[in-house]
Amino acid sequence: MIEVKNLKKEYQTGEVVTRALAGVSFDIREGEFVAIIGPSGSGKSTLMHIMGFLDSPTSGVYKFRGKSIDEFSDDELARIRNKQMGFVFQSFSLLPRTSVFENVRLPLVYTGLAPEKESEMVKAALETVGLSHRLKHLPNQLSGGEQQRVAIARAIVNNPGLIFADEPTGNLDSTSGQQIMDTLQKLNDKGHTIILVTHEKYTSEMAKRIIEFLDGKVVSDKEVDHRRLAKDGLIK
């Protein structure tokens, strides 16, 4: 699904050049659950933004489903991002004065689907995350964990093959974090490819593979021998 070769990313402020990625290479196969772990400033979020077409590399190769991102037009990138990718962020990024139903519906706005079909897809996504009873609520009427599950419902409403989750448990208590990781594990079991960005070692061990970052470089890439299952309450 994803092929990254010698990827570099630099930011320039005046005469100061900051290197966020210093030559990163790896592949991610369809159906994997990969955790990208590292301390703040290690380059992991920059990498996720590039893989999600939210940023572009300074140099190197990034191929999505066998095609270099340089070969896609801006419209093609937007369509892929909307239909084949889902995004979950630490801050939830929900519209505060808009109902749960309408927040989840957002990715469907430009699809041209009939309203009945849109409603069916929104309700199915909310059912998946266990929030079908909250569709008329506003975000501020929900707990943090519920808001993040709404964000996951929004990410999966188009049934994307790939889901990016950037520190999805970062603003949550341990119980809510456990529910979020359980939801992501279940989505992976259904065939979704999950790329999780986290700085928490115990959260990364709920993935099937861990890529460790430090100073913009991959320092470790290994399969998880004894995977933690969120449903067993192993987030501490």
Which residues are CB-neighbours of 79 under 8 A, at least 6 positions away? none
184 and 17 Cβ atoms separated by less than 8 Å: no
Residue 235 is predicted with a pLDDT of: 44
- At 48-80, the pLDDT tens digits run 999 999 899 999 999 999 999 999 999 999 989
How many residues make up the chain in this entry? 236
- In terms of DSSP bridges, do strands 33-37 and 16-28 run parallel, antiparallel, or are they unpaired? unpaired
pTM of the predicted model as reported, rounded to 2 decimal places: 0.89
Residue 236 is predicted with a pLDDT of: 39
Residue 233 is predicted with a pLDDT of: 59
Q: Which two tokens stand for residue 196?
A: 């999780």
State the residue for tokens 């994307």: 160
pLDDT digits (tens), the chain, 236 positions: 999 999 999 988 888 888 899 999 999 999 999 999 998 888 898 999 999 998 999 999 999 999 999 999 999 999 899 889 999 988 888 889 999 999 999 999 877 889 999 999 999 999 999 999 999 999 999 998 899 899 999 999 999 999 999 988 887 888 888 888 998 999 999 999 999 999 888 889 999 999 999 999 999 999 998 888 877 755 43
Tell me the CA end-to-end span of the chain in Å, nearest whole number.
32
Between the alpha carbon of residue 50 and those of residues 8, 57, 131, 169, the distances in Å are 10, 7, 31, 21
State the residue for tokens 């380059």: 43
